Structure formats: structure tokens, C-alpha cells
Structure 1
Amino acid sequence: MKESGQRALFYLASLEGLLYIDYNYPFFYVGIDEMGREKEQVEYKRLFSPIEINGMAVKNRIVEAPIQLAYCKDGHVNERIKQFYIERAKGGVGLIIAGGCRIDDYGYSLDMMSLRADDDIPGWRAFTDAVHGAAPDVKLAVQLYHAGRYAKQKNTGKEAWAPSAVFSNYTRETPRAMTVAEIHEVEEKWAEAAVRAKKAGFDAVEILGSAGYLICQFLSPTTNLREDEYGGSWENRCRFPLAVIRRVREAVGPDFPVTIRITGNAFIPGATDCSDAVRFAKAAEEAGVDAINVTGGWHESIVPQITGDLPRSGFSYLAAAVKAAVHIPVMASNRNNDPDVCEEVLALGRADMICLGRPLLADPEWPSKAAEGRQDEIRRCLGCNQGCLARSFFGRPVECLINARAGREYLYQTPKAPGTRKKILVVGAGPAGCEFALEADKRGHEVTIWEQSGRIGGQLHLACAPISKGEFRTLIDYYEAMLKKRAIRVELSHTAVAEEIRSGGFDEVVIAAGAVPRALPIKSTGKIPVVLSGQVLSREVMPGKNVVVIGGGAVGCEVAQYLADRGSLSAELLKFLMKERAESIETITALLNTSSRSVSIVEMAQKIGNGFDPGCAGPVLRDLKRLGVKKYTSSKVRELTDTEAVLETEGESGPAELRIPCDTVVVCVGSICNRGLYEALAGSMEHVHIIGDAEKIGKVMDAIRQAVDLAEAM
């Protein structure tokens, strides 16, 4: 540790440039952009300007997009969903669109909101009163939802209704084609639910016409095979969607705001595209909607919609196409996690409002922090989908990797009063250590962090290297900003030893020392280097042309993807070649879909890809196929020669030997808990705790949850 007044400087290299830390308790951090220039605080004049939707005054252009939260048992209000939305309302958003909300007994999912009957009104009236009471200047809408063929029979107990009996790759079920009478019934159910929403105190309603749900199914020729007046021509396929709009408008009256969320491009061959979205948007405006919310594709689309594979605000071009065709406000959706980018979308005239779904799950105060010039304090959504989408696949309540309170706000309404101010040592400045330090400091304790390396962040520095994981870098930025703001003492390059800790006078010690990678002994001549995944992702080691990755779990697949992609066409060069028309489209496509690096994955199990969260493996596995990554399952590396990896693999007639060219081996076979310091202290000190990977190998989400819960208990 440096003496008071003495200066220690640390420079951290990253993909985003140089980060400069002047560490002299408390340390000082200056944000640097990708070109090495100091960032200026942006004033978001457009983002925080008011707007009207059919007479409804919205204080800013930020809209909380609906997410299926799975918080409502049998569709009823409870403290969990109420406190969730109260926190977002207090965070400064202009308009909240809650939902989805079921309208009947056929097109819904488990544990979603319900306005299917009049007896639902009182509960939701109490909900809207509570949200409006907490933030009177925030407007509150509800999304009225019908899933059509995306409804699962195991949830509803009934066959799903759809325009036609077309098998759903999403539910793995085939729905029943609706009769004309049933079509009219659903139109009425939508209108009746809109009236109930109005009576329940909502300020507006949104009709769900996106993501591949019922309205999309009628519009698309891939799912609408009808031969009556509701199928065939474009006009016929629009008949039901437009009838829903007209009935809702008629039911709520001319002065009640009605919006619709539409798919800007289904990203499914033969389905609707952007030109169809524009045509439908114009018809929807004429039918009576007051604003249009534009999203990306369907649940069945293989094009990523909300993961980190999609660039920030990547689908705003779809909103721009709709905005150019209509005269009502247009909202842009998907991956709007950065206020700078959101302001630019508005500045470019691509949309009138910006939808934030998961970014407000990650940080309810995103709007107020942006408005107050505290952008560096925003917990930006990582696009990881581990706590939201992955959980929704199993009907589990939505949570968030970086916000342990998301969906658990109701548990913290009566915070435990902090006891005596404690002197706490945290060993390790990875996500578990940093999160605990911030939470414990918030509770009034004196916290010191000892970090063995020269930077905070731990494994996050490696996590942000693979494709689609770049947003993980922003979590490090957040911790740096908040540790500075809270003036928490961080001692870098400080190796903790048991004797120093025992004599340090600490009331509590938290070991968050992370894990160490598991090595793998391989018989070798020594000519081929055997390295760890972290050495590759940190660019400490530059693998050659023929790389063997041992381990086909999530880490191994991402490392293989990263290495193969590094041998492919870069985004910058792709733009240059396209802009200059320097090569033919065929040549560019070939360059984009091949790699000059030959990568092979060797996995002992029968398949690769184990360990991914649901919904997250697809883009990685498709990239491995696109870039020609070879996969050897039921195999292991028996030895290394000077130029080859010798594999023992299971063939059709039993074990077989296979030799493949190799100049680098990357080992991705897991990690080992770094428990040594904890075990050295546990028998001789009271109040020693262990969290994160130091205790049990897990995910960042597990580490952050542990850290918050432990801090709350102190």
C-alpha cells in the first residue's frame, strides 16, 4: 500500500483503449473512449424532451418496454410486481408499458398479468394507484397479449389457437386453426380487456403485434394458410389485425391512447419483412393507433434479437423506415442500453421514443442517472440474457445478472437496520468482491479491498473478449466509477496473506479470490505450446494457424468462435470493402464465412455446447459451423508430436486414432476454487466469509447475488 499523499499510477489496457487510474485514496478515474480521448458528458436534450401521444403528456422519450416477468400467480397483483414497477417509475422513465397481459383463456403464459375478467380490475386499480402514487409524472400503459400458436398447451390446458394449424418451432406443438367465430371472439376479448385497463387506471393500452404472436401469425404467409377472407392476399391477412385495432379504439373512445408493437422484420424466410411492416404501420395508423413500437423478429428467428450479438440500437433502422411512413410517434426497440446511442437515434430522426426493456431490469435508475450526467454510474444491460430470457424458457421469474434486486425489490422494502459500523476486508476485486464492497459501504461499513493484480474486474476482463460479450466491459467501468464515488479504499497489487489479515484489526473478512484455471497434463514433445483460455482471451498468447481447443463446453465454444473469427473478415474491413465496392458480393461473402485459422474442438462428451444458458448457444454454434470449426466429440488428446495432435476417438467399430495438424493447444476444462486463504483463516478467525467462485464455481450472476445477500446480512 502506498503512503498517504504518495501517488501510484496504473494503466489498464483493454479493447476500449487505455483506462487511467490515479490511485491515491480515493482513486480517480477518467473515462477514455476507443480513440484514447477523454469522454465528455453528453447533455441528452432530445431524450429528456416531452412528447404527447393522443393528448397523453409523457415527460421524456424513454419507454419501459414490456417483459414477460412471470411474477403474477394466476394473473393477480402481488407485492413483487408492484414493487418492481414502482422502482422503475421512481427511476425517471417517462412511460411504462407493463405486461404482457392476457385477455382470454387461450393465448397466455404462466404467471403473467390478466385482464380477462371484470374481477381483475380492482387488483390492477390498486397497482396503478400505487405506481402513480410513487411517481405521479410517469404514465402507465399495459400491453394486451395473445400468443396464438406460441401459447403452450401445458400452460393453458387447451389447444393453442392460430390462423392455421402450422407447427411451432417455439412450442414444439401444432395449434388449432381458428374458426371465424373464434376470430371475432378474440377481437371482442381484446376490446373488453382494453376497457378493463382503462377502468383499472392505466393511461394507455398497447396491442401486441410483434415477436411472432397471434397478429404476426395472421400477417405472415408462412403461418396463415387460410383460404377464406382472413388469408391469401395482403388485405385479407391484415383483416384480423386491423379489426382488433378498430374494436379497441371503438371500445376505449377517441381520446384514450392506443399503441401497437409490431415486428419490423420477422427475419424468417417467406414471412413479413420491413416493407410489410411499413405497409401495416400505415394501415394501423389509419385504423386508429396513436403510436407504433417497432421491434426486431420473432421468437423463431435465428437472427439474434436481444443478445450482445446485436449491436446497440441495432434495429433502429426498422423504426426509421416506419417513422418515414407515418405521422404518429414511433418507438425504437432492442438493445438500447446506452444513453449516447439513444440520443443519437433521436437526433438522426430514426424514432421519436426509445424503448428500454432489459436495461431497466439492470438499472431502474438508468433515466435519472442519464438526466443528471451520471452516465458512468449506469449498470448497462450486458445482453447476456442469463437472468431474463434463460429463466423465462422454464417459466421462472425474471431476474438479472448484474442487478440482484431485480424482481426481489419487495424483499427490500423494510431494509434491515445496520448495526455497529464494521471494519471489513474484501480479498479480491472481481464482481463478487466489488459488489459486496459497494453494498456493505451503502450499509455504513468501512470497507477495504485488497486485489492481487494491478486492476479490478477479475475474470470480467476475459469474459468481455468473446464475440457478443463486449458489454461485460461496462460492468468493470461501473465498478470503477462507483468505487471512486463511494471513496472505497482499493489496494491494487496487494497479495493477501493470512498473517497480515489476522493482525489487521478487521471485524469481518470476505474472501472473493475467484478461481484458477484447471490445467491438463498432456504427453508432449514440448514443441507445441499448451496454453489456457485466459492467456488467449487476454491476448497474452497469440495462437497460430492450426489450433486445438480442448473442452467443448460454453467456454471452449466461445474461445473457438473467438479464434476462428479473428481469422475472418473484420467488421471494419467488411465496411470498407462494401463502401468502396472493392470486391464482389460473392467474394466478400466468402471472406466473411471462412477463417484463415483452422480451429478444432476436442470434447470427451458426445456433444459440444453444454453449459450455455437456454437461448444463448445458438449464435455461437452457428458461428462455429459458418467458420468451419471442426468438432471431435467422444474424443481426447492422447499426445502431442512436433506438428500434430494425436486424438483417441470413438469410431463406429471402437477406439480409433486420429492425427490433426496443430501448432497451439488451448485448454478450456474448467476452474478450481481458490479456497486456500479462506481455509487458512477459517479455523483461527471469526467472521470469515467466502463468496463467488472462491466458494463454488458458478456464473457472475451467482457471485453478485451472493455478494448482495451477504452484505444485507451484516
Structure 2
Amino acid sequence: MKYEKLFSPITINSLTLKNRIVQSPSHMIYTTYEGYVTDRFKSYYWKRAENEIGLIMTGGCRFDDSGCVYGMMSLSDDSFIPGYREFTDGCHQRGAKVGVQLFHAGAYTKKENCLNGAYPMAPSAVRSGFTREIPREMTLQDMEQLIEKWAAAALRAREAGFDLVEILCSAGYLLCQFLSPLTNQRNDQYGGSFENRCRFPLEVIAALRKALGPDYPLTLRLAANDLVPGGNNLEDAVRFAKLAEHAGIDAIHVTAGWHESKVPQITGDVPRGSFAYLSQAIKDAVSIPVIAANRINDPVIAEKLIALESCDMVGLCRALVADPRWASKAKAGEESLIRRCVGCNQGCLANIFQNKPVQCLVNGTAGRESAFTASRRSVKKKLLVIGGGPAGCTFAIAAAQLGHQVALWEKTDSLGGQLTAAAAPPGKHEFSFLPAYYAAALKQAGVEVLLGQSVEKEAISSTNADSIIVACGSHPKALNLEGLDPQALVSAQDILLGRRMAGRRVLIVGGGSVGCETAQFLAREGSISPDQFYYYSAQKVESPEKIASMANSTRRDIAIIEALPRIGGGYAPGTGWPVLADLKRLGVRSYTEAKILSIRDNRLRLEYTVRDRRLDQTETYLADLEFDTIVSAIGSNPCTQVFQQLQQAFPTKDIRSLGDCQQIGTVLSAVQSACDLALKV
């Protein structure tokens, strides 16, 4: 497809952009702790700047010590200007415009992250549902001083070469807190009515417009629906957007939700482009450009949203973490080579929650672009990779791009390893695109791929490989239960791959991420499908209430049995809650700190523990659970046989193991370790 609209120019105030692609702001923790620019920060953005991005928006930028988060960039004084001037010059030399988002978290600031003795402050002293802390209420003097700092930081941004300044009014941060009746409980002119709650955000806009002058681009990042009960909705956001335009905003970057919202917004279970209805409503109400954001990782979706006039531009965040060349590949018609974000949030959001720099499950070079740019080998090696899963494919691509001659052998007839099973649960379908990407990227990198290739000593010898990388993955652990009919026992992998069909009554042994997602898969299988929901609704087959009831229930009776105190222990921070919420919605039961006592006649006797943490009480109970199927989800063991055999057959050769073959981990850890090894081999 030709993306004629996506790659057409557009103007924001006096700034002309070469296309409609915006890198949305995201906290990366690539600066120093104080917020000074680093080579890592520059290399990350410069890699995207040289690949057809029209406008790069950096992550949030501190300008006040009371409103920051760990490890963010800063323009709080003039000492930061020279470093960021070098950064913006580099973006311009590479063909991209660059903007900065001025950030104040308000009640979303944790006390431990405040600098220089500051304390979190907000419109009102209301306990934050995100930090679980109570900020102090801002005084009128606080507001006046904060506006002065905001405007001063905007002037520093202009002096540092930024082409645009964005005001943050989304995700539940300070200006959202002024707009919301939940967090703004003031009794003065800044609280109460909608007009009063808008007063401070509009004063911020007016102050920055006055400081920057009429021609400098000033944009707003706006939550068009708080997605928090009792908060602001789309109608409120449209009203505020009109006021913001009148106050001097030149474009609106539309997103959704607060951090404490219970509605998923960026995870894989969110259909692509789902929140464009918000940008569409804002666009219909204002005359300035509007940017759509959230879960846009496909250029076809991006082109469609602009063609339908749901937005003027598209904001890509994690899509560009996953593939810095997303835009240049789309422009060149190389869609098969786009390494798509899978919406897992394991290396980005989860790392930020732990104050760690962003990584990416599909892109092991994210945040270390300079290492791979500067490391192309002058001495080429012949490398043989055994295993075509994520670890093997990632290593082969990275090693070939560094200049080595690489061959990859896979014993089955397809690439991807366990990705097919990983893509089966609800919300994980994006993983299914990775094998096709690997095939295209391996071919482009010049890797010789042999499918259906067994590992034999003679064949290995004939390759004359300098190094052999064994990435044979893992296999499920065996579950031995006395008294169980073997026909009633299946592995989670067999369920997810469609090799076996579970009955109506299902017990899942193992409550980690695999067990939870298998339970979700089986529960959804027993409910109505999205297509059925649409058909029943459109054709009015049943009442809306009946259809909703069908969608929120399952025919299956499912229980998870877990030895640990809770289920979902295998998830990275902030990533498992949509699955656990879905299990609750569909009535999946769980038994924790559980021990299987006996099995007889399709009935399992169980001892389990219930803890009441509020009362510090623990009770142990017995349960008799009937079942048709027991699903084993107790983990995996490394496949070490090939590695050991090759070590014995070739004692002098450089042979290394990689991924689950070496140590059971995640796709994220496999991809990261594969890139690590590519730099070392």
C-alpha cells in the first residue's frame, strides 16, 4: 500500500512537518539521575530521527522538584541547555523535528522521587490511588510560582533547540487533577464548577503562550476520557479542548485514561486504534491538528485513521521502541520487515515501575543503539545457530547485521518456537506476527535458514562453523498425580496449540502466567466470541442485557490450583492485571497455598489456605473438586540434550547455549541475552 496521507506534510503553527508520524512521549530513564542528557539518550532518539519520523516528542521533562518521577530529563535550570542543544541539533541533522513535554506529576509524584527536599503537591490533599500517598494542597502562591517555572522551562526548551513544547494534561498528572472533581476539592476560584477546575490549566497555557510568543508551536497532551468512575468523560474533554484552543494551543495530542484506571489502554488485548474515537471527537470540535495515540503499530491502521479524518497525525510510542525503522520501512513498502510491538509492556512499562531503563521484548537493541552501530565486525566468523525460536532468530539476525556469516537450523517446518502457543491466549495475538518478521528479517540479513534440519555430527562438521549457538528451547515439566487417568491430563501447551480439547470442568495446576493465560483461553472459549457479540448486538438477537450477560460468563467451570500464596506471580510489574481481572469477570476460581491430597473417580481432594491480611488471620480448608480435564502448567525444563551432545562430539569447538536452553526465562530475557551474545561472540 502507498501511505499517501501518512507521508504528506502538515503544519503546526509555524512548524512544518514532513509527515504525519509523531513519536509519542514516553519515560525511558536514559538520562542521568539529575536529568542531564547522555549518549544513550541521544543515540536512542537519533536512531529514530534518521528513519523518517516527522516529529519526535521526548519523554516528560522536569521543571520543578516537587513533580518529577525517577530518572527523567530536566530543564529546571540553564545548566541543562547545552546538552539538549547538542541533542536537538542531532535530530535536525537527521531530518526530524523534535519537541519536549513539560511534566508535573502532582499527586502522582512519590515522596521518594522529589528532589532537593520538595514535597508532592496537588490541587487538594486527596490520597492518590496511584502512589497511595497524600500530597499537600497547593496554595495560590504555589500555583503562581509553578506557572513561572513552567514558562521559564519553555523558554529554555526553545533556547535548547526544541521545535515545540507540549503541556502534559493526561494520564492523571497535575493538570488532570485540577480538571477532575475527584482530586480537585478546592473551595476557591480553582475548584468546584467545571469552569473553575479549568482555570489553572488555562492559566498555564496562557502563560506559556505569552512567554513563547504567537508563532512558536505549543501543544497539549490531553486525556479525552479519564476512564475513572466519577472522573471526566469525553464530553468534558471536548469542552476543555475548545477552551485550550482559544487559550493558545496549536495541536492536541489525544490519549485516554489515568494510571489508576481499570481499563486497559496499551496492552495487547486492546484492539489496534481503539481509542481513535476520542481523537475523532476532539477533531470534530476544534480547528487545530489532532494526534491520535494508543495501540497504533500498523501503518495500514495509521493511514486509515487519517483517511477517515479521525485524526490529522498518529502518535506511535512503543511501536517505535520495538522498531526504530517503522516509518522508513512503511515508506519503502517493507511492511513484512516491521518488527511490531506486541503490547506486552514487559520491558517498557514494567521496567519503569521498577525504576529501570526501558528495554523491549522484540528489540534487544533498544536503549543501546550506539553499541550495535559501532560494533560491526572487521573479522567475520562462521556461526551456526541451532533453534529457530525467539532467542535463535534474534541472535542470528543481530550477528549477521554485525557482519558475521550465519546459518540457522530449525528441526520443525516453521520458525518461532513457542510463539505459536504464546499467541493463543486472549490479548496475545500480536505474538503471531513475530515468526513472519523473523523469516523476512533473516532473509534480509543474509542468514541461511534450513527448516526441518536435524542435528547430526557429520552435517555439523561440514559447516566448518567457528561457533555453534544452541537455542533449542524448553519442554513442559511432567506432572505426576497418583490415581489420575492419563487421558484426563493435558499440558497447557497442548491446549493452546489446539492439540487437545478440554472438557467443561477444568482444573489447572499452576497459577503462574502460563496457567492464568490458559485459564483465560479456556474461559473465553466457553463464552461468546467478539464476532458473535457484534452479530447479536447488530441484529438485536437478544436484549443488550442478555448479550452482556453472555459475554461476561463462561460455560466452563474452571479452577486454578497454586502452591504459592497468590496466582499471577510470574508477571512483570503492571502487566498481569488485565488477565487477572478477566479471570475474575468470567468466574474462574483459584485455590492458593494448595496441596493435592488425592484423586479418585474424576474428583480431586484439595487442602488450601485463605489469608485475611486485614485481620492477619489464616484459615485452612478442604475442597472436593470434580473435573473432566486437568491441565498441567507447572513450568518447563531446559532442552539441554543437543548442547551436551555437541560438547562431547566437538570438545575443542566454541559451543554456547542460549535462551531457555540455557536457563528458563521469558521472551524478553531470551531476546536481550541473544543480543548480548551477538556483541560478544
The TM-score with structure 1 as length reference comes to 0.92
Matched to 2:220, the amino acid is: I
Structure 2 CA distance for partners of 1:580 and 1:426, relative to 1, 3 Å: same
- Report deviation, 1:489: 2.4
Q: Deviations over 1:211-233 (max 9, x none)?
A: 00000000000000001000000
Alignment counterpart, residue 531 of structure 2, candidates 560, 572, 592: 572
Matched to 1:103, the amino acid is: F
Q: Which residue of 2 aligns with 1:459?
A: 418
8 Å CA contact 1:522–1:638 kept in 2: the answer is no
Q: Distance in 1 between matches of 2:609 and 2:204?
A: 58
Q: Distance in 2 between matches of 1:486 and 1:81?
A: 27
- Report deviation, 1:97: 0.9
Alignment counterpart, residue 105 of structure 2, candidates 128, 143, 147: 147
8 Å CA contact 1:527–1:641 kept in 2: the answer is no
The correspondence of residues 478-557 of structure 1 with structure 2, limited to 5 A, is 478-498=437-457, 500-502=459-461, 504-526=463-485, 528-557=487-516
Alignment counterpart, residue 628 of structure 2, candidates 654, 660, 663: 663
- Report deviation, 1:412: 3.3
8 Å CA contact 1:673–1:697 kept in 2: the answer is yes
Determine if the alignment matches structure 1 residue 138 to structure 2 residue 99.
Answer: no
Alignment counterpart, residue 422 of structure 1, candidates 366, 369, 381: 381
8 Å CA contact 1:528–1:662 kept in 2: the answer is no
What is the RMSD of the two structures over their aligned residues, measured on CA atoms? 1.6
Matched to 2:478, the amino acid is: A
Q: Deviations over 1:426-470 (max 9, x none)?
A: 111001111111122223333222212221100111111111111
Q: Deviations over 1:307-365 (max 9, x none)?
A: 11211111000000000000000000101101011111111110000000111111111
Q: Which residue of 2 aligns with 1:679?
A: 644
Q: Deviations over 1:150-170 (max 9, x none)?
A: 111101143211000111121
Q: Which residue of 2 aligns with 1:8?
A: none
Q: Deviations over 1:653-679 (max 9, x none)?
A: 986542212011110001001111112
8 Å CA contact 2:338–2:437 kept in 1: the answer is yes
- Report deviation, 1:70: 1.1
Q: Which residue of 2 aligns with 1:256?
A: 216
Question: What are the ranges of 5 or more consecutive residues in structure 2 without an aligned counterpart?
Answer: 611-616
Q: Which residue of 1 aligns with 2:614?
A: none
The correspondence of residues 259-274 of structure 1 with structure 2, limited to 5 A, is 259-274=219-234
Look up the SS of the partner of 2:99 in the other structure.
Answer: strand
Deviates more, 1:526-535 or 1:585-594: 526-535
Structure 2 CA distance for partners of 1:655 and 1:256, relative to 1, 3 Å: closer
Q: Which residue of 2 aligns with 1:379?
A: 339
The correspondence of residues 213-224 of structure 1 with structure 2, limited to 5 A, is 213-224=173-184
Q: Which residue of 2 aligns with 1:370?
A: 330
Matched to 1:187, the amino acid is: I
Q: Distance in 2 between matches of 1:350 and 1:486?
A: 37
Determine if the alignment matches structure 1 residue 635 to structure 2 residue 600.
Answer: no
8 Å CA contact 1:63–1:354 kept in 2: the answer is yes
Look up the SS of the partner of 1:331 in the other structure.
Answer: strand
Q: Distance in 2 between matches of 1:332 and 1:539?
A: 37
Matched to 2:199, the amino acid is: R
Q: Distance in 2 between matches of 1:626 and 1:179?
A: 43
Q: Distance in 2 between matches of 1:213 and 1:445?
A: 48
Structure 2 CA distance for partners of 1:527 and 1:415, relative to 1, 3 Å: closer
The correspondence of residues 298-313 of structure 1 with structure 2, limited to 5 A, is 298-313=258-273
Q: Distance in 2 between matches of 1:447 and 1:575?
A: 48
The correspondence of residues 50-199 of structure 1 with structure 2, limited to 5 A, is 50-73=9-32, 74-133=34-93, 135=94, 137-156=95-114, 157-199=117-159
The TM-score with structure 2 as length reference comes to 0.96
Q: Which residue of 1 aligns with 2:613?
A: none
Determine if the alignment matches structure 1 residue 711 to structure 2 residue 678.
Answer: yes
Q: Distance in 2 between matches of 1:150 and 1:654?
A: 37
Look up the SS of the partner of 1:516 in the other structure.
Answer: strand
Deviates more, 1:369-378 or 1:444-453: 444-453
8 Å CA contact 2:375–2:402 kept in 1: the answer is no
- Report deviation, 1:263: 0.2
Count of residues in correspondence between the two structures? 670
8 Å CA contact 2:225–2:232 kept in 1: the answer is yes
Matched to 1:474, the amino acid is: F
Alignment counterpart, residue 588 of structure 1, candidates 547, 553, 564: 547
Q: Distance in 2 between matches of 1:666 and 1:650?
A: 21
The correspondence of residues 614-625 of structure 1 with structure 2, limited to 5 A, is 614-625=573-584
8 Å CA contact 1:50–1:61 kept in 2: the answer is yes
- Report deviation, 1:624: 0.8
Structure 2 CA distance for partners of 1:504 and 1:412, relative to 1, 3 Å: closer
Structure 2 CA distance for partners of 1:646 and 1:158, relative to 1, 3 Å: same
Matched to 1:267, the amino acid is: L
Q: Which residue of 1 aligns with 2:172?
A: 212
Give % identity: 47
- Report deviation, 1:202: 0.6
Q: Distance in 2 between matches of 1:450 and 1:118?
A: 56
8 Å CA contact 2:323–2:340 kept in 1: the answer is yes
- Report deviation, 1:255: 0.4
8 Å CA contact 1:497–1:677 kept in 2: the answer is no
8 Å CA contact 2:602–2:628 kept in 1: the answer is yes
- Report deviation, 1:527: 6.6
Look up the SS of the partner of 2:285 in the other structure.
Answer: coil
- Report deviation, 1:251: 0.2
Q: Which residue of 2 aligns with 1:38?
A: none
Structure 2 CA distance for partners of 1:409 and 1:525, relative to 1, 3 Å: closer
- Report deviation, 1:422: 2.8
8 Å CA contact 1:498–1:680 kept in 2: the answer is no
8 Å CA contact 2:217–2:250 kept in 1: the answer is yes
Q: Distance in 2 between matches of 1:167 and 1:654?
A: 32
- Report deviation, 1:409: 1.6
The correspondence of residues 276-295 of structure 1 with structure 2, limited to 5 A, is 276-295=236-255
Q: Deviations over 1:588-644 (max 9, x none)?
A: 121111100111100111211101011111111111111010111121334433332
Q: Distance in 2 between matches of 1:416 and 1:504?
A: 23
- Report deviation, 1:410: 3.1
Deviates more, 1:237-246 or 1:565-574: 565-574
Look up the SS of the partner of 1:536 in the other structure.
Answer: helix
Q: Distance in 2 between matches of 1:371 and 1:195?
A: 35
Deviates more, 1:531-540 or 1:521-530: 521-530
- Report deviation, 1:502: 4.3
Q: Distance in 2 between matches of 1:649 and 1:224?
A: 45
Q: Which residue of 2 aligns with 1:240?
A: 200
Q: Which residue of 2 aligns with 1:19?
A: none
Q: Distance in 2 between matches of 1:183 and 1:458?
A: 56
Alignment counterpart, residue 320 of structure 1, candidates 280, 283, 287: 280
Matched to 2:423, the amino acid is: C
Q: Which residue of 1 aligns with 2:660?
A: 693
8 Å CA contact 2:400–2:446 kept in 1: the answer is no
8 Å CA contact 1:528–1:640 kept in 2: the answer is no
Structure 2 CA distance for partners of 1:650 and 1:166, relative to 1, 3 Å: closer
Matched to 2:419, the amino acid is: L
8 Å CA contact 1:161–1:175 kept in 2: the answer is yes
Q: Distance in 2 between matches of 1:237 and 1:90?
A: 42
8 Å CA contact 2:495–2:501 kept in 1: the answer is yes
